[in-house]
Amino acid sequence: MNELSSQYDILKVIGHGGFSAVFKARSKTHPEKVVALKQLDYTIENEDAKEYKDFKEEVDILKGLNHPNIVKIYGENILDRKPSLEMEFVDGETLETILKREKYLSVEHTLDIIEQIGSALSYCHQYHIPDEVAGTTGSALLQKRSIVHNDVNPKNIIRTKNNEGTYRYVLIDFGLSFTDPDAVRHSKKEDGMAEYKSPEKWSAANVDTPSDIYSFGIVIYELLTGAAPFPVKDYNSPQEMIELEEKHKSSKVPDICNKRKAAIQAKEMLMPETCEIPDWLQLLVLKCLEKEPSRRFQTGRDLVEFYYNGLDGKIDIPVSITENQVIDIDPENLRNLHKGPFLEVVPNILTEAQHFFLKKDYTTIGRSNDMPGVFTADFSLRTADKFISKNHCQLTKRMNENKGVAYYLSDTVPSKNGTFYNAEKNTTRLNAHVKIKLRDGDYFWIGNTKIIFHG
């Protein structure tokens, strides 16, 4: 560890698994910089090695991720002949640690996690990777010009506290994707992973965004019940791994309400009379856990849209969800749910996470204001950001040449501090006389707040 120790002071060993070790480390050249340093557990000869080129290619993509619920990736290096990854150190505790202490979480707490991590997955799954990169890599991480996390589980979600006292949940460790994709697909003994593996992973089939959805569905189930639907006792038991594989591929998910009632009774010594999990949330979990990938939410965006529809009371449950009934969630039954373009506000220290479905021909966007008689935007952001005007920017709905609907972004008032389209904040300002046609996944900045258009 000569090169490692010459460049970093190791403050703490955060974790050590079958593929890597993670340290809390301080840079010796920049002592004020404390990072999480991940060192992969295989040896490479030099920077020209194919393994390192593949690793560097993925890291270069991950360095571009910019989302409050995704760990920041700083860069890569070779230390002691091992690929090493420098990341943001997130000071907090994992969901695994929280669950061990609390046993299970409240529905309200769980909804907060779904919203934040769902937003992170939506961002990854909609992230545009250049065609020349997506077309040349065989990575399990980069699929169809989007990013697959490939290892969503409670160990890889950290809760940290914001300055104002609210919680932020951060998705960490994309590592197993670029450590050894084949090993990820074939390993059935990796500690902390087996309970969250999608059926297609057990079959060594192609892994795509619905695999992340399945894993996140397991996490949500565990948050509400205190245990994964198919828990593991002994990761070293071949027989138990065989049985676990079969359960993921073909067994029905144990009733989530019964499991939650049992968890509450074990902790509080009192059996609840009713199930406090809303029907739409039960349906969300079951759809995540469909055996067939095509029957799940296809991306984080689909999950987030369903989630917001549930909060807004816009989901009609196909049939009554009872304690003794297993719901077959056919996509045909879900087509009547509210669909349509919406705006997603990426939360930050000043602005809350919000969504807004676009229904009007003309929509104003701006900072909320409770004063009577003062202009209020159609989409009023709950924010303390003073750089956002009360009528900051606007969206206009038009029919396009194919008789479809298109939305155009403008800043025609204009706002005092500007609107910045598909660029980092404070770079290229939208001209007051220009209207920009929005495509799915486009984003814009107002003040310090990023807003994503989902079409």
Same domain, 290 and 423: no
Same domain, 398 and 439: yes
pLDDT computed for residue 133 by the predictor: 54
Same domain, 137 and 286: yes
More confident position, 186 or 54: 54
Q: Please, which pLDDT band fits residue 318 given cuts at 50, 70 and 90?
A: low
Number of H helices and number of E strands within the chain?
Answer: 13, 20
What is the rounded average pLDDT of the residues 91-111? 96
Same domain, 221 and 268: yes
Among 88, 109, 134, residue at a domain's last position = 88
pTM for the structure as a whole: 0.76
Same domain, 272 and 374: no
Q: Please, which pLDDT band fits residue 254 given cuts at 50, 70 and 90?
A: very high
Comparing 50-54, 236-240, 421-425, the range with the smallest average pLDDT is: 421-425
Comparing 113-117, 329-333, 372-376, the range with the smallest average pLDDT is: 329-333
Same domain, 47 and 102: no
Same domain, 55 and 185: no
Same domain, 249 and 228: yes
- The domain in which residue 28 lies consists of 2-88
pLDDT tops 70 at residue 411: yes
Tell me the pLDDT tens digit for each residue of 323-359: 434 444 444 444 444 467 889 888 888 888 888 888 8
Cα separation of 109 and 157, whole Å? 14
The CATH number assigned to the domain holding 320 equals 1.10.510.10
Same domain, 177 and 285: yes
Same domain, 103 and 252: yes
Taking Cα atoms as reference points, which of 174, 129, 171, 134 lies closest to residue 150? Answer: 174
Cα separation of 317 and 327, whole Å? 10
pLDDT computed for residue 86 by the predictor: 94
Among 308, 334, 360, residue at a domain's last position = 334
Q: Which are the contacts of 350, defined by CB distance < 8 A and separation ≥ 6?
A: 383, 384, 385, 447, 448, 449
What is the rounded average pLDDT of the residues 224-234? 95
Q: Please, which pLDDT band fits residue 404 given cuts at 50, 70 and 90?
A: confident
Among 71, 88, 105, residue at a domain's last position = 88
Instruction: Look at the chain and report how many structural domains it folds into.
Output: 3
Same domain, 140 and 69: no
Q: Which are the contacts of 404, defined by CB distance < 8 A and separation ≥ 6?
A: none
Burial 187-226, CB ≥16 within 10 A → b, else e? bbebebbbbbbbbbbbeeeebbbbbbbbbbbbbbbbbbbb
Same domain, 171 and 66: no
Give SS3 for 290: coil
